[in-house]
Amino acid sequence: MPLDKMTNPEDFVPTHKSVILHIQGKPVACVIDTQNNYDSIKDNLSTRANLLGFLNKDDEFGLLMGFQLKIKTDEEFFQFTVYPNEEFTETLIFDERIFIINRQMDLLFSLKINTDQFVKTKSEFDKFQKMVK
């Protein structure tokens, strides 16, 4: 949904940067976070994650694809709002995994996620790319 149709667009301001790293030649989708406080949720059975993809209409850049990643436990809540590049989106669609890293590229936390909010096939992705261009 474009931000101009959202009732609360301030909730979709970017909070984190994304990057693609290549591990053994394979691209992985990473979000850079400066907090290193994920030890408490790594083995927490109450951990739940939610990924919501959305479109933002910008006057200068046109239509931008973004996502919100929310990680919750009974005691903690983390939220990331990111506008990734095309390679990140494609990697996320096919790998269905996000790595949270720090600025030194150390792994802090990783999640296997269901990307139902995104297109699920290469042909759908290509069709979306043509619509955006």
Q: Tell me the average pLDDT across 106-132.
A: 70
Report pTM: 0.74
Chain mean pLDDT for the chain: 81
pLDDT at position 121 = 56
Query: Residue 108 sits in which domain range?
Result: 3-132
Strands 97-101 and 26-32: parallel
Per residue, the 3-state secondary structure of 44-94, as one string, reads: CCCCEEEEEEEEEEECCCEEEEEEEEEEECCCCEEEEEECCCHHHHHHHHH
- Number of domains the chain is built from: 1
Residues 12-51 have pLDDT tens digits of: 888 999 999 998 889 999 999 987 778 878 788 888 888 8
